[in-house]
Amino acid sequence: MGEPNAAAQPSQEFEKVLVNSSTQVASFDTHDKTPIQKIQHFLHSTPAAVPFIVLVAAILIFGLTIGGKFFSSYTLTLILQQIAIVGILGAAQTLVILTAGIDLSIGVIMVLSAVIMGNSAVTYGLPAPIAIFLGFLVGGACGFLNGFLVSRVKLPPFIVTLGTWYIIMATNFIYSANATIREADVTAVTQMLHVFGVSFKIGSAVFTLGVVMMVVLVLGLWYALNHTAWGRHLYAVGDDPEAAKLSGIRTGRVLLSAYTLAGLIAALAAWVSIGRNGSISPSAAVTDYNLQAITAAVIGGISLFGGRGSILGTLIGAMIVGVVSMGLNMLGADPQWKVFLTGVLIITAVAIDQWIRKVAG
């Protein structure tokens, strides 16, 4: 608080007593904190810390129970390969969730983009770069449609993307007649669609270009979210849209860009999925990719109320699911236990999120 000056003297009768009052009111730091409060503050300022601790704990637990077979760099990098698609979709989902929205259509956008890429290259015989471009175009257009309905028509994101989920899924089946494009047919035309399946070894660790893509994408988005005005605006819009608007942010544009970018990233996930699966199957549209992406984001500490969380958390969230599922596999457990544990993790993650938020109170 500044030095009291002449103008600052209380001039209302009832304020006279203020002269003798404590002057601590405007100091910006709270003083003695209990260790628990310190942890709470640390977690509040470092949103990816909780999922990181959980990930390390999960690796340790499975490592100790299973032993060296789990700890091998081969197994650990295999997990990365398995989560590449969900990790990329989770990154797209994170952008939307940070705006306090949700994108239920993200999984089917990916499948439709993959089918477009495959059909363009194999059935229509277009050059691979054009086929891939068309896939991105369709993914981006689907995302733009979501963004348009949310930001301009002002419909709730849940309703919009529930609708487009069905619409895009049906479009996918009608357009493709549910015909799978075989791996050999794709390989016969081009190698480019399978580029993200290409693997390389560092010692016994096996990485695919898809895994590299996932990490590069997440790091790129982390940079954009934390070090550009666009990223700060995305957080501000999700945090308090009214305040963001009054601060001069064009909230509609920010929302539109988030959904459109999510659609484009879904198309990237489509390209990566072609590399991983080899073939392109329209029936993948029934897989709950959208829910897996939301799960990764939520376990990673992204708040569904918007404006909070780090995209690095989403990557870690996807890894946690990957580690748990691989660990249980190797223990020979019923696969349903993985589903069971995922549910427990989601609820725990949200409960911790609520607790951390109380720091504001």
Partner 1 sequence: MAQEPILTARGLVKRYGRVTALDHADFDLYPGEILAVIGDNGAGKSSMIKAISGAITPDEGEIRLEGQVINFRSPMEARSAGIETVYQNLALSPALSIADNMFLGREIRKPGIMGSLFRKLDRAEMEKRARAKLSELGLMTIQNINQAVETLSGGQRQGVAVARAAAFGSKVVIMDEPTAALGVKESRRVLELILDVRSRGLPIVLISHNMPHVFEVADRIHIHRLGKRLCVINPKEHTMSDAVAFMTGAKEPPREALAA
- Count residues binding partner 1 (CB under 8 A): 44
68 binds partner 1, rule: CB under 8 A: no
Torsion over CA: 325, 329, 335, 336 (sign): negative
Candidates 21-29, 50-58, 140-148, 269-277; binding stretch for partner 1 (CB under 8 A): 21-29
Residue 228 in the binding site for partner 1 (CB under 8 A): yes
Q: Please, which residue, 21 or 191, has the CB nearer to partner 1?
A: 21
Contact (CB, 8 A) for 110 and 89: yes
Which position among 202, 248, 332, 334 is part of the footprint of partner 1 (CB under 8 A)?
A: 248
Least distance (Å) between residue 200 CB and partner 1: 28
Least distance in angstroms from the C-beta of 252 to partner 1: 11
Distance (Å, whole) CA 196 – CA 126: 20
Q: What whole-number distance in Å separates Cα of residue 272 and Cα of residue 69?
A: 27
What CA–CA distances, in Å, run from 237 to 92, 144, 187, 344? 17, 18, 44, 30
Two tokens, residue 78:
């295999």
Q: Applying CB under 8 A, does 308 fall inside the site for partner 1? A: yes
How many CA atoms are closer than 13 Å to the CA of 214, on its beta-carbon side? 31
Q: Are 63 and 70 in contact (CB under 8 A)?
A: yes
Looking at 236, 264, 280, 349, which residue binds partner 1 (CB under 8 A)?
A: 236
Specify the stretch interacting with partner 1 by CB under 8 A; choose among 7-15, 58-66, 210-218, 320-328.
Answer: 7-15
Q: Name which of residues 146 to 175 contact partner 1 (CB under 8 A).
A: none
Least distance CB 330 / partner 1 (angstroms): 39
Which residues, including other chains, have CB under 8 Å from residue 296's CB and lie 6 or more apart? 83, 86, 87, 89, 90, 93, 314, 315, 317, 318, 321
CB atoms within 10 A of CB 65: 11
Nearer to partner 1, 12 or 336 (CB): 12
Q: Is 34 in the site for partner 1 (CB under 8 A)?
A: no
Q: Which residues contact 66 (CB under 8 A, 6 or more apart)?
A: 327, 330, 331
245, 251 contact by CB (below 8 A): yes
Considering only CA atoms, which of 303, 301, 324 is closest in space to residue 312?
301
Judged by CB under 8 A, which stretch of 18-26, 52-60, 88-96, 262-270 contacts partner 1? 18-26
b/e map of 197-235 (b: 16 or more CB within 10 Å)? beeeeeeeebbbbbbebbeebbeebbebbeeeeebebbb
The sign of the torsion formed by the CA atoms of 14, 19, 24, 27 equals positive
Of 18 and 39, CB closest to partner 1: 18
Based on CB atoms, which residue is closest to partner 1, 29 or 334? 29
Region from 187-195, 227-235, 287-295, 330-338 binding partner 1, contact rule CB under 8 A: 227-235
Least CB distance from residue 118 to partner 1, whole Å?
34
38 part of the interface to partner 1, by CB under 8 A: no
On whether the CB atoms of residues 122 and 135 are closer than 8 A, the answer is: no
Q: Which of 130, 155, 245, 253 binds partner 1 (CB under 8 A)?
A: 245
Instruction: Give the interface segment with partner 1, choosing from 67-75, 105-113, 223-231, 318-326 (CB under 8 A).
Output: 223-231
Q: Which residues bind partner 1 (CB under 8 A)?
A: 1-3, 7-8, 10-12, 14-15, 18, 21, 25-29, 44-45, 223-224, 227-230, 232-233, 235-236, 239-240, 242-250, 307-308, 359-360
